[in-house]
Structure 1
């Protein structure tokens, strides 16, 4: 049995806790608050502050560290820090998720209950694959993507880095979604989406180009 530190003690942290408990891999689970996000009350679990620990020694006292925040930028920053420090980054797959033997799920990703990652699909580092998400065959989900519950992504689709996909989105096959896209809840994506945009609707249309697009 292993010791797990969940770095992030907000809503995503509590979801991560339940997934970790379901795997029955861990004898001890603690939390480290993300300073930028604060924390919520998590009864019966120790929540450390970033200001009260010596990072390298503290983090290396755990067998695995898992970054738990829905903010893609913060998740990327924290996981990058862990890689630099040579800390073991956890991967969490709920026992009620279905992962094809030919699929790949990289470090720092969580796959929640009733999600499906099908044949030859790849899910990158630090992704959130939420409850009942379907990622079909030969899809590529790049690093630090956040996919909300009940999303369905058809085969041969590529989702760019740090994209957020809202709840109940449907994406047809052979679509390319650029990096740092926001897809509104309930959208139906039937054509490629350029990077650094927000799209909504049925069918999904661009309503905003992000200011950080260079």
Structure 2
């Protein structure tokens, strides 16, 4: 069985580890801290400290590496570092997720329990599709997007690069959500959202620039 290294030893890292265990394809799962983030104790697993001196040696010792942090910026930075070292990230897909055969999921993604990715949807590099999230048919998700639990988007929705969709938000069909936007928890999006905008409420309205 393969050896997996999870780059991120915080909350997202522990959730990612449980996803990996459910997949039943890894004989060993260890962690590498993210220096910019706090870590937590994870009993039963080896945890390496991220330093420049040992990075390539640690990363290359494993069959697969996944970056696990809810920060879109940090996830992009660590995946960019992997690429600069000539390494390709894994994608983890929980066995209870429902993923259409016609959907495309790019490298470095984590799709958690109960998520649905429907017909002809596409998910960009380094995205997190959290528990119970729904990406309907023909949606396009940009790179490094974080989709929180129970967020749902109807068909033909486009989500821009490094957007953050809060827990339980709803986006109706044919909506375009701009790059680096933040959609607040429980918001209902019925109009396009420009880049770098924070929206909240029902219906969602802009409250500030991100």
**Residue equivalent to 1:30:** 30
Aligned partners of 1:63 and 1:88 also within 8 Å: no
Alpha-carbon distance, 1:88 to partner = 2.7
Per-residue deviation, residues 174-205 of structure 1 (Å, max 9, x unmatched)? 00000000000000000000000100000000
In structure 2, do the counterparts of structure 1 residues 30 and 53 end up closer, same or farther at CA, with 3 Å as the change threshold? Answer: farther
Counterpart check, 1:92 vs 2:92: yes
Aligned partners of 1:64 and 1:87 also within 8 Å: no
DSSP 3-state at the match of 1:50: coil
The number of residue pairs the alignment matches comes to 210
Q: Give the Cα separation in 1 of the matches to 2:139 and 2:51.
A: 40
* Equivalent residue runs for 1:170-209 within 5 Å: 170-209=170-209
Counterpart check, 1:142 vs 2:149: no
Alpha-carbon distance, 1:57 to partner = 2.0
**Residue equivalent to 2:153:** 153
**Residue equivalent to 1:9:** 9
Alpha-carbon distance, 1:38 to partner = 2.1
Alpha-carbon distance, 1:52 to partner = 8.2
Q: Give the Cα separation in 2 of the matches to 1:172 and 1:36.
A: 36
Alpha-carbon distance, 1:120 to partner = 0.2
Structure 1: gaps (5+ residues): none
Which range is displaced more, 57-66 or 180-189? 57-66
Q: Give the Cα separation in 2 of the matches to 1:7 and 1:20.
A: 13
Give RMSD over aligned pairs. Answer: 0.9
Q: Give the Cα separation in 1 of the matches to 2:22 and 2:107.
A: 18
Structure 2: gaps (5+ residues): none
Q: Give the Cα separation in 1 of the matches to 2:149 and 2:57.
A: 36
Q: Give the Cα separation in 2 of the matches to 1:57 and 1:182.
A: 36
DSSP 3-state at the match of 1:19: helix
